[in-house]
Amino acid sequence: MNFYNLTFLKFIILFSIIISSVYSSELDDSLNLLQKQNELLKDLKEEIEYFDTGRVILLEKAVYEVTTSIKANGFVNMQTLFAYQNLVIKFNYSTDFFRTVTSVQNQNIIKQLLINAGSIARNIGMNDLNYPTIIFSTFKQVTTLLNELKKDENLPKNIQDLIAIINPQIGKLLSNASNGDRPMAFAAGNEIYDIVKNNLYDHFYALQESEVAFSTIIEIYGLMDYYNEFSQREFVNIQINN
């Protein structure tokens, strides 16, 4: 091997080491920031009313999905990118929630959560929103939880009847959202939110005896509360622009 080939080979090896080192550093920084978010969210759950923890669980799941995707697929990967987008969007539309649950005891936790969320959004350059995708994803999770709720043998009949009414409506909403029909998807989502709020929430404390049903209702509440904040901030803009 002549001098020039040897020098080029050394350059390639050195370049690979540098790139690998930079990538590894970015990967570690990303995972560390996600871990901090996860720890802060756990701390926040201890400082708010149990009824409000549904939204925090929603955010915890979003953090978990990103972390899992990074470890399985790497940082530069479409699945990781989608998971990051989901995380950023959920934090973007949780600022009103954070404002309502802020107290002297948790204000520093919430402040740091929002700082970290802003850093994550800037680091990955996430600014664009896909409204139908947000709606579809949210209500897809809701219908999954409702179907889990149906499996509870002790579920009151009025709640079973309510689920039977809501599920077909969610089916229509998912169809509208998957077709990109933003106004129809928003309108259907708002109608379902009103039904859930005016009916399902009334039975919240009656389900405390069933641990599974109670925790499922908490998650449904978190999803619907998230959708409501998203809808309140964006539905008017959608109406104006269509």
pLDDT in tens, 171-219: 989 988 888 777 888 888 889 988 888 877 666 666 666 666 778 888 8
Closest by Cα among 108, 212, 201, 193 to 153: 212
Residue 230 clears pLDDT 50, i.e. is over it: yes
Average pLDDT (51-69) is: 94
Burial zone of 144 (CB within 10 Å; 0-12 exposed, 13-18 middle, 19+ buried): middle
To the nearest 10 degrees (0 to 180), the angle between helices 78-92 and 53-73 is 160
Euclidean distance between CA atoms 93 and 98, whole angstroms: 10
Cα of 17 vs its chain's centroid, Å:
36
Determine the pLDDT at residue 204: 64
Burial zone of 78 (CB within 10 Å; 0-12 exposed, 13-18 middle, 19+ buried): exposed
Q: Does domain 3-124 have CATH number 1.10.10?
A: no
User: 220 and 142 in contact (C-beta within 8 Å)?
Assistant: yes
Closest by Cα among 136, 137, 188 to 166: 188
Pair of tokens at residue 148 = 């889990």
Determine the pLDDT at residue 126: 61
Determine the pLDDT at residue 187: 85
Name the range with the highest mean pLDDT among 63-67, 121-125, 128-132: 63-67
What 3-state class would DSSP assign to 75?
A: coil
pTM for this predicted structure: 0.74
